[in-house]
Amino acid sequence: MCLALPARVVELRSDDLGVIDLGGVRKEISLALLENVAVGDYVIVHVGYALQKLDPGEAEKTLELFAGFDAGMSAA
């Protein structure tokens, strides 16, 4: 099973690289598959590559859903 996660771009670097923030965890990823990515954009990330830009509202809803799963697992 593969999992692609929405994450917010917090920094652009040279050579089509950027830094994303996912729940306080920051990771350098490749932005080479997308055009016109800006700081603040939400992207779908899989195995270190941004695959698609997302609508900010939809990305935030998805992240809230993941946070709810995490809270439910902690209570179990």
Q: Residues 17-74: pLDDT tens digits?
A: 999 998 899 999 999 999 999 999 999 999 999 999 999 999 888 888 877 776 555 6
Q: Are 46 and 4 in contact (CB under 8 A)?
A: yes
| pTM, to two decimals | 0.82
Neighbours of 45 (CB within 10 A): 21
Residue 22 has what pLDDT? Answer: 86
More confident residue, 70 or 7: 7
Compute the distance between CA of residue 37 and CA of residue 71 in angstroms, rounded to an integer: 31
